[in-house]
Structure 1
Protein backbone atom coordinates (compact mmCIF):
# COMPACT_ATOMS: atom_id res chain seq x y z
CA UNK A 1 0.00 0.00 0.00
CA UNK A 2 1.11 3.51 -0.76
CA UNK A 3 0.87 6.19 1.94
CA UNK A 4 -0.23 9.81 1.83
CA UNK A 5 3.39 10.87 2.36
CA UNK A 6 4.57 8.80 -0.60
CA UNK A 7 1.83 10.17 -2.86
CA UNK A 8 2.56 13.72 -1.72
CA UNK A 9 6.21 13.21 -2.70
CA UNK A 10 5.42 11.90 -6.22
CA UNK A 11 6.19 15.26 -7.92
CA UNK A 12 9.79 14.80 -6.68
CA UNK A 13 10.02 11.32 -8.24
CA UNK A 14 9.35 11.45 -11.98
CA UNK A 15 10.36 7.79 -12.25
CA UNK A 16 7.22 6.82 -10.29
CA UNK A 17 3.71 6.79 -11.72
CA UNK A 18 0.60 7.96 -9.92
CA UNK A 19 -2.41 6.70 -11.85
CA UNK A 20 -5.88 7.95 -10.95
CA UNK A 21 -8.40 5.35 -12.10
CA UNK A 22 -11.50 7.48 -11.52
CA UNK A 23 -13.70 8.54 -14.41
CA UNK A 24 -13.08 11.96 -15.97
CA UNK A 25 -16.39 13.26 -14.60
CA UNK A 26 -15.22 12.49 -11.05
CA UNK A 27 -12.01 14.43 -11.59
CA UNK A 28 -14.00 17.46 -12.74
CA UNK A 29 -16.04 17.30 -9.52
CA UNK A 30 -13.15 16.90 -7.09
CA UNK A 31 -9.89 17.86 -8.73
CA UNK A 32 -6.78 15.80 -9.42
CA UNK A 33 -3.82 14.53 -7.46
CA UNK A 34 -0.61 16.40 -8.36
CA UNK A 35 1.49 14.64 -11.02
CA UNK A 36 -1.14 11.97 -11.62
CA UNK A 37 -2.26 10.63 -14.96
CA UNK A 38 -5.86 9.61 -15.46
CA UNK A 39 -6.57 6.15 -16.83
CA UNK A 40 -10.12 5.14 -15.86
CA UNK A 41 -10.25 1.59 -14.49
CA UNK A 42 -12.23 0.20 -17.46
CA UNK A 43 -9.40 1.41 -19.76
CA UNK A 44 -6.46 0.29 -17.62
CA UNK A 45 -5.75 -3.14 -19.08
CA UNK A 46 -5.85 -1.79 -22.63
CA UNK A 47 -3.59 1.14 -21.66
CA UNK A 48 -0.98 -1.03 -19.96
CA UNK A 49 -0.89 -3.30 -23.00
CA UNK A 50 -0.47 -0.44 -25.50
CA UNK A 51 2.70 -0.11 -27.54
CA UNK A 52 5.05 2.43 -25.94
CA UNK A 53 4.49 5.15 -28.54
CA UNK A 54 0.69 4.96 -28.32
CA UNK A 55 0.78 5.11 -24.52
CA UNK A 56 2.97 8.21 -24.66
CA UNK A 57 0.67 9.85 -27.18
CA UNK A 58 -2.46 9.01 -25.15
CA UNK A 59 -1.19 9.85 -21.65
CA UNK A 60 1.58 12.39 -22.13
CA UNK A 61 4.40 10.38 -20.59
CA UNK A 62 6.42 7.30 -21.33
CA UNK A 63 4.80 3.95 -20.73
CA UNK A 64 5.94 2.56 -17.38
CA UNK A 65 8.59 -0.13 -17.40
CA UNK A 66 7.58 -3.48 -15.96
CA UNK A 67 9.54 -2.65 -12.78
CA UNK A 68 8.40 0.97 -12.41
CA UNK A 69 6.62 1.98 -9.22
CA UNK A 70 2.92 2.30 -10.07
CA UNK A 71 0.64 3.82 -7.44
CA UNK A 72 -3.07 3.66 -8.14
CA UNK A 73 -5.64 6.02 -6.67
CA UNK A 74 -9.40 6.39 -6.92
CA UNK A 75 -11.99 7.96 -4.63
CA UNK A 76 -11.82 5.72 -1.55
CA UNK A 77 -9.39 2.90 -2.39
CA UNK A 78 -11.51 0.08 -3.82
CA UNK A 79 -10.83 0.69 -7.49
CA UNK A 80 -7.19 1.48 -6.68
CA UNK A 81 -6.80 -1.98 -5.14
CA UNK A 82 -8.41 -3.61 -8.18
CA UNK A 83 -6.11 -1.59 -10.47
CA UNK A 84 -2.99 -2.65 -8.53
CA UNK A 85 -4.09 -6.28 -8.73
CA UNK A 86 -4.70 -5.97 -12.47
CA UNK A 87 -1.29 -4.37 -13.06
CA UNK A 88 0.36 -7.14 -11.01
CA UNK A 89 -1.46 -9.74 -13.10
CA UNK A 90 -0.05 -8.06 -16.22
CA UNK A 91 3.48 -8.44 -14.81
CA UNK A 92 4.10 -5.03 -13.23
CA UNK A 93 6.09 -5.96 -10.13
CA UNK A 94 5.84 -2.68 -8.17
CA UNK A 95 2.12 -1.94 -8.41
CA UNK A 96 0.36 -0.75 -5.28
CA UNK A 97 -2.78 1.02 -4.22
CA UNK A 98 -3.10 4.26 -2.31
CA UNK A 99 -5.59 2.95 0.23
CA UNK A 100 -6.95 6.33 1.32
CA UNK A 101 -7.04 7.67 -2.23
CA UNK A 102 -8.79 10.98 -2.94
CA UNK A 103 -10.81 10.88 0.30
CA UNK A 104 -7.68 10.78 2.49
CA UNK A 105 -5.78 13.19 0.23
CA UNK A 106 -8.50 15.83 0.43
CA UNK A 107 -8.85 15.45 4.21
CA UNK A 108 -5.09 15.75 4.86
CA UNK A 109 -4.66 18.63 2.41
CA UNK A 110 -7.44 20.61 4.12
CA UNK A 111 -5.66 20.10 7.46
CA UNK A 112 -2.52 21.66 6.01
CA UNK A 113 -4.17 24.92 4.98
Structure 2
Protein backbone atom coordinates (compact mmCIF):
# COMPACT_ATOMS: atom_id res chain seq x y z
CA UNK A 1 0.00 0.00 0.00
CA UNK A 2 2.22 2.86 1.19
CA UNK A 3 1.31 6.50 0.83
CA UNK A 4 -0.71 8.55 3.25
CA UNK A 5 -3.24 6.96 5.53
CA UNK A 6 -6.85 7.38 4.52
CA UNK A 7 -8.34 10.46 6.19
CA UNK A 8 -11.52 9.81 8.12
CA UNK A 9 -14.43 12.08 8.86
CA UNK A 10 -16.60 11.62 11.96
CA UNK A 11 -20.40 11.65 12.15
CA UNK A 12 -20.27 15.13 13.70
CA UNK A 13 -17.88 16.44 11.02
CA UNK A 14 -20.07 15.00 8.28
CA UNK A 15 -23.22 16.58 9.74
CA UNK A 16 -21.44 19.95 9.92
CA UNK A 17 -20.21 19.61 6.33
CA UNK A 18 -23.72 18.72 5.15
CA UNK A 19 -25.13 21.81 6.82
CA UNK A 20 -22.59 24.36 5.62
CA UNK A 21 -21.28 23.04 2.32
CA UNK A 22 -23.10 23.39 -0.95
CA UNK A 23 -20.33 21.51 -2.76
CA UNK A 24 -20.11 18.39 -0.61
CA UNK A 25 -20.01 15.25 -2.73
CA UNK A 26 -21.03 12.34 -0.54
CA UNK A 27 -20.47 9.06 -2.36
CA UNK A 28 -22.18 5.85 -1.28
CA UNK A 29 -20.03 2.98 -2.56
CA UNK A 30 -22.41 0.18 -1.55
CA UNK A 31 -24.34 -1.99 -3.99
CA UNK A 32 -27.63 -0.77 -5.44
CA UNK A 33 -29.46 -3.37 -3.35
CA UNK A 34 -27.96 -1.95 -0.14
CA UNK A 35 -28.72 1.63 -1.18
CA UNK A 36 -32.34 0.69 -1.83
CA UNK A 37 -32.70 0.02 1.92
CA UNK A 38 -31.67 3.58 2.76
CA UNK A 39 -28.86 6.03 2.29
CA UNK A 40 -27.52 9.28 3.70
CA UNK A 41 -29.57 12.16 2.25
CA UNK A 42 -27.89 13.91 -0.65
CA UNK A 43 -25.43 11.12 -1.37
CA UNK A 44 -24.91 9.60 -4.79
CA UNK A 45 -24.32 5.92 -5.43
CA UNK A 46 -21.08 4.96 -7.17
CA UNK A 47 -20.49 1.28 -6.31
CA UNK A 48 -16.94 0.51 -5.19
CA UNK A 49 -16.04 -1.46 -8.31
CA UNK A 50 -16.88 1.60 -10.46
CA UNK A 51 -15.28 4.33 -8.31
CA UNK A 52 -11.96 4.31 -10.14
CA UNK A 53 -13.61 4.62 -13.56
CA UNK A 54 -15.95 7.33 -12.30
CA UNK A 55 -13.11 9.42 -10.89
CA UNK A 56 -11.21 9.08 -14.20
CA UNK A 57 -14.17 10.30 -16.28
CA UNK A 58 -14.01 13.68 -17.93
CA UNK A 59 -16.24 16.24 -16.16
CA UNK A 60 -18.91 16.24 -18.89
CA UNK A 61 -19.27 12.47 -18.87
CA UNK A 62 -19.38 12.43 -15.06
CA UNK A 63 -22.12 15.05 -14.97
CA UNK A 64 -24.08 13.22 -17.66
CA UNK A 65 -23.92 9.94 -15.74
CA UNK A 66 -24.38 11.13 -12.15
CA UNK A 67 -26.26 14.40 -12.63
CA UNK A 68 -23.83 16.48 -10.60
CA UNK A 69 -20.53 18.24 -11.33
CA UNK A 70 -17.37 16.19 -10.93
CA UNK A 71 -15.41 17.47 -7.93
CA UNK A 72 -12.05 19.17 -8.55
CA UNK A 73 -9.03 17.12 -7.52
CA UNK A 74 -8.23 19.47 -4.66
CA UNK A 75 -11.76 19.28 -3.26
CA UNK A 76 -11.85 18.91 0.51
CA UNK A 77 -15.57 18.14 0.23
CA UNK A 78 -15.37 14.63 -1.19
CA UNK A 79 -16.48 11.95 1.26
CA UNK A 80 -16.99 8.23 0.63
CA UNK A 81 -18.95 5.80 2.78
CA UNK A 82 -20.26 2.24 2.76
CA UNK A 83 -22.08 0.05 5.27
CA UNK A 84 -19.34 -0.62 7.82
CA UNK A 85 -16.31 1.44 6.72
CA UNK A 86 -14.03 -0.93 4.78
CA UNK A 87 -15.27 -0.28 1.24
CA UNK A 88 -15.44 3.45 1.96
CA UNK A 89 -11.77 3.36 2.96
CA UNK A 90 -10.89 1.41 -0.19
CA UNK A 91 -12.76 3.93 -2.36
CA UNK A 92 -11.09 6.86 -0.58
CA UNK A 93 -7.69 5.26 -1.20
CA UNK A 94 -8.49 4.85 -4.91
CA UNK A 95 -9.56 8.50 -5.14
CA UNK A 96 -6.37 9.62 -3.37
CA UNK A 97 -4.27 7.52 -5.74
CA UNK A 98 -5.98 9.35 -8.63
CA UNK A 99 -5.03 12.74 -7.19
CA UNK A 100 -8.00 13.49 -4.91
CA UNK A 101 -5.62 14.14 -2.04
CA UNK A 102 -8.25 15.51 0.34
CA UNK A 103 -10.82 12.75 -0.14
CA UNK A 104 -12.08 11.33 3.16
CA UNK A 105 -13.90 8.26 4.40
CA UNK A 106 -16.86 8.40 6.76
CA UNK A 107 -15.54 5.60 8.94
CA UNK A 108 -18.74 5.19 10.95
CA UNK A 109 -20.47 4.48 7.66
CA UNK A 110 -24.16 3.91 7.11
CA UNK A 111 -24.45 1.59 10.10
CA UNK A 112 -23.52 4.44 12.48
CA UNK A 113 -25.53 7.03 10.52
CA UNK A 114 -28.74 5.01 10.60
CA UNK A 115 -28.41 4.39 14.36
CA UNK A 116 -27.75 8.05 15.19
CA UNK A 117 -30.44 9.37 12.85
CA UNK A 118 -33.06 6.95 14.19
CA UNK A 119 -33.17 8.71 17.57
| Structure 2 residue aligned with 1:64 | 71
- Distance in structure 2 (CA, Å) of the matches to 1:13 and 1:34: 14
**C-alpha RMSD over aligned residues:** 1.1
Task: Provide the C-alpha distance between the structure 2 equivalents of 1:4 and 1:11, rounded to a whole number of angstroms.
Answer: 12
Structure 1 residue ranges, 4+ long, deviating more than 6 angstroms after superposition: none
Q: In the alignment, does 2:93 pair up with 1:89? A: no
> Counterpart of 2:35?
27
Structure 2 equivalent of residue 54 of structure 1: 61
Query: How far did 1:8 drift?
Result: 2.2
TM-score (norm 2): 0.87
Q: Give the conservation status (yes or no) of the 8 Å contact 1:11–1:34.
A: no
Please say which of residues 58-67 and 8-17 is displaced more in the overlay: 8-17
TM (normalized to structure 1)?
0.92
Alignment check: 8 A CA contact 1:7 1:18 kept: no
1:29-54 C-alpha deviation (Å, 9 max, x unpaired): 2x111111110000000000001101
The count of residues paired between Structure 1 and Structure 2 equals 110
Structure 1 Cα separation of the partners of residues 102 and 24 of structure 2:
10
The runs of 5 or more residues in structure 2 that have no matched partner are: 1-7
